[in-house]
């Protein structure tokens, strides 16, 4: 059986990693400073929505392969591998907030001070290049009195998990990146991961700083593809007879491009792409390089809200007092995560002069924590599409594909309804009662 490990930080990455390792026969100590989070996990009440994760956590807890508490020292002294999975949110200035990383590093330094065995620290939190060596390693050395590469090993092992498919991504990763600066750390981490995954996994072995850069570059490229296809969608809006989905399909069929992330929409959000791109831009500036392309990607994404509001203004005239229904507040389907959600930002811009009604299959409670009683919440699709001047589909939930033209007409008999479909989910034709706009779809008809 592989050596025991401690996972520090039980958020999306940490809890997924802990549950997966435990179900692969590894003794896992899961540690978090949030006592309420710990108690919820012990009762298999996952603090966020992620498909199938509750099943994996429950199985791991019942088998006692996963022990969850706030005792970092106990977990460290019993573990060969120490995984850092704490959050690295975006600060007010756009830079990465390393507060939790610094605290975890100091705590680890204190915990390993009197541990005699050789341990390997594995950083999975996304951090700017040079952070592992200049912040984490130095803090651990300073407080523990130990020397890296002699008394303990250290490596950066980035995660590539997508919310909504984390278990699948963890079970069958596209790649594993191991960033280390010494042979002993590399062999230890590589042997550990091979015992879990077996042979056949595409593994890239490189330096710590290159691994940190790979994580940033990976997310920046995904953001690039999204902003690129959204730019094409915006062009299609002004070119009658064009369809962004047809263009994307043609582009994606080229093996040099690929079809993933070539789906036009209202812009990217979530806990990764916005903060990682922002952190990457700040990191580049600190090296003396001005990342013009990265800034353009960010600008295109932020401008998508203006595109939507411009459509509303042109089609509805004044927005004052209009009843606007927004379908979907999660940044994408399959999650309840509303961090950096374009839909949330749109609501912020509209709620002061329009009457907002929102629906989301999973994210309504999180949405309430932001807006409270300033907007209305619907728990059924029928309610959210009733008595409204405008319907805006923001999240690509499968439930929204079932909305029909008849349903909209029957629930809005005395109104002309503007439907803005940012995901092009619906099959609706323009009538004298429905003004249907699908972003990037200026439908072409054969004569």
The position carrying tokens 């994307």 is 248
125: its two tokens:
């939190």
DSSP lists the bridge partners of residue 393 as 327, 421
Catalytic residue, chosen from 85, 236, 272, 388, is 272
109: its two tokens:
């330094």
Asked if 2 and 122 count as a contact pair (C-beta separation under 8 A), the reply is no
Q: Distance between CA atoms of 343 and 340, rounded to whole angstroms?
A: 9
The position carrying tokens 């439908």 is 443
Alpha-carbon dihedral 197, 201, 206, 210, rounded to 10 degrees: -100
Tally of residues, the chain: 447
369: its two tokens:
């924590």
The pair phi, psi for residue 14, each rounded to 5°, is -65, -45
> DSSP for 325-357?
EEE--SSSTT----TT-HHHHHHHHHTTTSEEE
**Known active-site residue 284:** no
Q: Distance between CA atoms of 240 and 256, rounded to whole angstroms?
A: 29
127: its two tokens:
């951090």
Active-site positions? 272
């Amino acid at each position: 059986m592989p050596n025991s490990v401690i996972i520090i930080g039980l958020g999306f990455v940490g809890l997924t990693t802990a549950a997966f390792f435990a179900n692969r026969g590894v003794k896992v100590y899961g540690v978090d400073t949030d006592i309420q989070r710990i108690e919820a996990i012990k009762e298999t009440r996952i603090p966020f929505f992620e498909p199938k994760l509750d099943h994996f956590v429950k199985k791991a807890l019942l088998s006692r392969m996963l022990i969850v508490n706030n005792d970092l020292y106990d977990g460290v002294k019993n573990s060969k591998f120490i995984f850092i999975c704490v959050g690295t949110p975006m600060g007010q200035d756009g830079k990465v907030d390393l507060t939790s990383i610094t605290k975890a590093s100091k705590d680890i330094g204190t915990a390993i001070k009197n541990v005699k065995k050789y341990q390997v620290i594995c950083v999975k939190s996304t951090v700017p290049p040079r952070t592992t060596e200049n912040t984490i390693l130095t803090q651990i050395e300073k407080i523990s009195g130990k020397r890296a590469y002699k008394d303990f090993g250290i490596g950066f092992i980035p995660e590539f998990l997508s919310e909504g498919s984390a278990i699948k991504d963890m079970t069958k990763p596209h790649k594993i990146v191991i960033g280390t600066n010494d042979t002993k750390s590399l062999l230890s981490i590589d042997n550990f991961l091979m015992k879990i995954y077996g042979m056949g996994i595409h593994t890239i072995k490189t330096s710590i700083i290159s691994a940190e850069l790979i994580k940033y570059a990976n997310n920046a490229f995904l953001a690039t593809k999204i902003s690129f296809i959204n730019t094409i969608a915006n062009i299609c809006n002004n070119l009658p007879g064009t369809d962004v989905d047809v263009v994307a399909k043609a582009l994606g069929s080229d093996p040099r491009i690929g079809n993933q992330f070539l789906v036009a929409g209202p812009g990217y959000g979530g806990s990764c792409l916005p903060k990682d791109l922002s952190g990457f831009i700040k990191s580049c500036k600190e090296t003396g390089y001005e990342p013009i392309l990265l800034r353009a990607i960010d600008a295109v994404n932020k401008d998508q809200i203006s595109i939507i509001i411009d459509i509303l203004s042109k089609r509805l005239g004044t927005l004052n007092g209009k009843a606007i229904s927004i379908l979907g507040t999660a940044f994408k389907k399959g999650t309840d995560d509303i961090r950096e959600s374009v839909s949330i930002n749109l609501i912020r811009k509209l709620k002061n002069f329009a009457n907002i009604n929102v629906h989301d299959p999973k994210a309504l409670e999180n949405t309430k924590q932001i807006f409270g009683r300033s907007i209305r919440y619907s728990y059924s699709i029928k309610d959210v599409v009733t008595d409204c001047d405008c319907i805006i589909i923001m999240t690509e939930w499968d439930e929204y594909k079932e909305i029909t033209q008849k349903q909209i007409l029957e629930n809005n008999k005395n109104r002309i309804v503007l439907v803005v479909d940012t995901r092009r989910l619906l099959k609706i034709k323009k009538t004298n009662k429905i003004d249907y706009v699908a972003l990037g779809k200026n439908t072409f008809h054969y004569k």
